[in-house]
A and B are shown apart, each in its own frame.
Chain A
Amino acid sequence: MIFAGVFYIATLLLVAGLVYKIFDYSRTPAPLKIPTTPAPTTQSGVVYRMAKEVVLFESLFKSNKWIWVFGWLFHFGLFLVLVRHLRYFLPTIPEWLVFIQPFGMYASFMMVVGLAGLLARRFLVDRVRYISTPSDYLMLVLLLGIGLTGMMTTFVVHTDIVALKEFFMGLMYFDVQPVPTDPIILTHLALVALLMVIFPISKLLHAPGVFFSPTRNQADNPREHRHVAAWAARLDQNN
């Protein structure tokens, strides 16, 4: 039952934290046009630029191939794994999700290899070591922990998926069911809860943050459109 409480609290913190952060980012004005040029001149161009950043990590590709390889393996693996996880939360499982299941399983290898590579860089490259804080290492260790415990469950000691699904469906309908008791899945779940709690107060804010980055999300059209923030417009009135 502790786990039920933990997940309610973790979800609350995650959602409330993210909603607050996103609200905070959107209410903070960007008073000046500062896209890093060359930049698209239209809004649809901006969407395309942003899509390339989010899906392909385009800028990272330009700057450092090693970080790009590991980072992209990790994130794409993570994405597939998370999609596969939808099956624990959906009452009925759609066709495409069934199709994706095996990919999701092997994506966990991408994810873990990527994480291991990123962690290795933190130890091996003097510049990256210099900028790393303890939390930077721990974040990678945490994700590795989640990934490895998940893989143990998938590939070594299976858990009772049906019971687990009942537990989570129960949580969603406020009808608490017993949680499976094998230690590995419990570790998996505990680490996930921790990840959820720290998400909105850590550098994981890069995920929503990237969409709010003025150097990437502004169109390059300052000569054609007058762009003025509310606090700055007040200055015009005194003239």
Chain B
Amino acid sequence: MAAAEFDIPEVKDTIEIPKLREGAMAHAKSFIAPKPVQDFMGYPHELGEDWKERALDKMGDLLGKYRSLKVFLDACVHCGACTDKCHYYLGTSDPKNMPVARQDLMRQVYRRYFTTAGKLFPKLVGAKELSKEVLDDWYSYYHQCSECRRCSVFCPYGIDTAEITMAGREILNHVGMGQKYSNEILGKVQKIGNNLGLPGPALEDTLLGLEEDIEADTGVPVKLPMDVKGAEVLLVTPSADFFSEPHVESLIGYAKVFHAAGINWTLSSHASEAGNFGLFNGNYETMRKVAMRIRDAALELGVKRIVVGECGHAWRVAYSFWNTLTGIGYGGNDPFSIELQKQLDHNYPQPQHICELTNDLIKAGKIQVDPSKNDDLVVTYHDSCNVARASRMGDMPGGQFIIPRELIKSVVNNFHNMADDTIYESTFCCGGGGGLLTDDLMEVRVKGALPRVTALNAVVQEHQVNFMATICAICKAQFTKVLPKYGFDMSMVGGVHQLVSKAIKLEVAEQAD
């Protein structure tokens, strides 16, 4: 559906902090989830008489369950250090997109109903009644936060606005104001097995088609197996990898890596999705249900290792939460987690990121690559927020920055980083994460991409960079849509395994077999 017209921001040489423009993005409203979508999720689809009590009840419930929420709502001193850290503020200049102001939308209500000071002197401490206007603000601005955690890096107490946004969306869901995009996807993944809603047979066809393409292209019969019992590795990857460009190029890359290394692997039709939008909505039970598909598939197929494809928030959920939610990992001492953990091969981290796997194979000489195959490219790397600030790779802090770069540098000859304050843990979100990757939020997405585009533009000017690699399905989809608005070619963005795919030598492993 066509969104309203808006101006594309001008790309300057450096990222500038704009002057406030109040209400600049108040009109941006993601579509509300209709009845069938909300019904499936067990949420109401419209505000009832008692919405206010329901909202406050839910808030009380969450305050009791999440220390993060309670401490973050209390601890902020309004120092202002985070005010210029959010890409949505930098791109839209709407003050309510400053992290602390976004938190304050909830904090004002928290203070009014849950704190002594706010009950006694609401005006003094900025406490406010929960009104329909406040609720509308929540809906609007909690869907202009990609839960990227950049603000959390810079806050002296680590206050993570993403936690507040998640709680806000959870409360909105409970009063009947769900977001269509995320909740539809959560329905599809639970009913069909993946976010795109591809049924098993369609998936099988696609994989066969890809196998033919690869063979035609390389002359090597690289397979994309599905539901193979007893395989060593279960690969769980975002469903965009099966269908979207440029994602599919990375899927081909993973397949070639497994083939070249002689690893017996499989996809699962039951768990044909690594993404987990339960994260975005801040609902533990939903996130757990969606993650359980992976556990079930792993038990069913009897695999020894679980590897995750290129997806940012999926990697956060996998790395940081799977062990908690489903027992995929180590160190469990309860029957639930032991059941799975005794099946897994303890020589490998569980779950493992595909970049960890490929990088280890290259370093160990188990697969060969020829970086000159990518000599037409000058590459930069976009750290995806969930990988950078909410997870890790390898065995030391910061491995999530080192390993993908090591891997890229082993398969390409020309690599340049973007400016330091826009990469690593200071990376700027692509602008489409956290459940915002929908056309009805296009203005937010385009404007939110401004800081990243500014940094990219600088290396394009200086080093003639013509390819930005990334390991997130959302980043890829967002950039292919948004970069053209800023005058860049959409094929400029792609996966790390897209580069691996071009450089990998398939024949060598054939001989070694």
Residue positions of A touching B, CB distance < 8 A: 21, 24-25, 28-34, 36-41, 53, 57, 59-60, 62-64, 67, 71, 118, 121, 125-128, 130-136, 138, 198, 201-203, 205-206, 209-210, 212-216, 220, 222-229, 231-233, 235-237, 239
Contacts and interface: CB of A to CB of B under 8 A. Distances in A.
A141 to B, nearest CB: 13
A70 to B, nearest CB: 10
Contacts, number: 232
B80 A206 contact: no
Contacts of B12: none
Interface in B51-91: 63-68, 70-72, 74-85
Q: Is the interface of B mostly helix, strand, loop or mixed?
A: loop
Interface stretch (B3-11, B94-102, B208-216, B239-247): B94-102
Given A38-B397, A63-B155, A224-B331, 9 more contacts: A28-B66, A34-B163, A37-B388, A213-B72, A213-B158, A222-B319, A225-B330, A236-B336, A239-B336
A135 B126 contact: yes
A133 B349 CA distance: 48
Which of B79, B82, B334 has its CB near the most chain A CB atoms (within 10 A)? B79
A95 B80 CA distance: 40
A67 B319 CA distance: 35
A29 B66 CA distance: 6
A59 B115 contact: no
A39 B395 CA distance: 12
B206 interface: no
A62 B288 contact: no
Which of A31, A38, A220 has its CB near the most chain B CB atoms (within 10 A)? A38
A34 to B, nearest CB: 6
A131 B68 contact: no
Contacts of A212: 67, 71
A7 to B, nearest CB: 20
A25 B323 contact: no
28 contacts: A28-B63, A29-B65, A30-B66, A32-B284, A32-B324, A37-B392, A37-B425, A38-B398, A64-B81, A64-B154, A127-B20, A128-B79, A130-B20, A130-B95, A131-B83, A133-B124, A135-B125, A202-B125, A206-B76, A209-B75, A210-B75, A213-B75, A215-B160, A222-B329, A226-B334, A227-B323, A229-B65, A232-B288
Nearest to B349: A223
B329 A224 contact: yes
A37 B154 contact: no
B321 A39 contact: no
Given A33-B324, A71-B79, A24 B156 contact: no
B308 to A, nearest CB: 12
Contacts of A225: 323, 330-331
Given A131-B80, A206-B77, A30 B67 contact: yes
A128 B83 contact: yes
B179 interface: no
The 3 closest A-B CB pairs, nearest first, are A209-B75, A133-B126, A63-B154
